[in-house]
Amino acid sequence: MALFPQINFPDIIQTPILPYDKKSPLWDFETGCFLQDESGKWTVTEDETLILAQLARLMLMTERGMYEIHDFNFGCDILSIIGYDKNYVLSRLSKLIKEALSTDNRFKDVQITVVSNVEENIILELRILTYRGQQIIQTVNVGAA
C-alpha cells in the first residue's frame, strides 16, 4: 500500500455542451421588448439556430461584468475601445468579438468580415459556426449611427 493513493485522471476532460431551452421567447432588439402575439403572449420558438443567433447578439450587446444577472464571462468588452482611433478599434474588434463568443461552448468558430468602413461607422458581417455545424450570419454596426 502506497502512502499516497493512485488516482487515474482521464487525459482530456471534455466540457459538456450547455443545454438550451427547448422553447425560448423571441426578443425584439429594436424595441427592447419580447415579441408578442395578438393576445399579448410572448412569441416563442423552438428553432435552435434562432435561439443561438439571439444569444450571440445578446452577448455582443452586453458589456462584460456590468450586470450581476449574467456570469462575469458573459458579454463583450466593447466599451474598452470607445474613444480610440479608428485603426485601433478595427484591430481590436475581431479579437473582442471572438473572445466574447468563445466563452460559450455552443459557438465553435466565428469569421469576421468588414463590410463597410466609412467615416465613424464600421459594419461587420459575422459568420458564426455552432456546435452542431449550423452557420449563423449576423451584421454588426459599430460606431455613430
Q: How confident is the model over 10-58, as pLDDT tens digits?
A: 665 566 666 655 788 888 888 888 899 999 999 988 888 898 999 999 8
Distance, CA of 115 to CA of 104 (rounded, Å): 25
| Angle separating helix axes 48-61 and 86-102, nearest 10 degrees | 130
Asked whether the predicted pLDDT for residue 135 surpasses 80, the reply is yes
pLDDT at site 2: 58
Asked whether the predicted pLDDT for residue 8 surpasses 80, the reply is no
Domains of the chain: 43-143 (3.10.450.40)
- In 3D space, the residue among 58, 57, 97 whose CA is nearest the CA of residue 77 turns out to be 97
Please, what is the average pLDDT of the chain?
84
pLDDT band at 110 (very low <50, low <70, confident <90, very high): very high
Q: Please provide the DSSP assignment of 7-29 as one string.
A: ----S-PPPPPPP--SSEE-EET
Residue with the bigger pLDDT between 133 and 19: it is 133
Is the pTM of the predicted complex or chain greater than 0.95? no
Asked whether the predicted pLDDT for residue 102 surpasses 70, the reply is yes
85 Cβ contact list (under 8 Å, min separation 6): none
pLDDT band at 143 (very low <50, low <70, confident <90, very high): confident
Percent of the chain with pLDDT over 90: 26
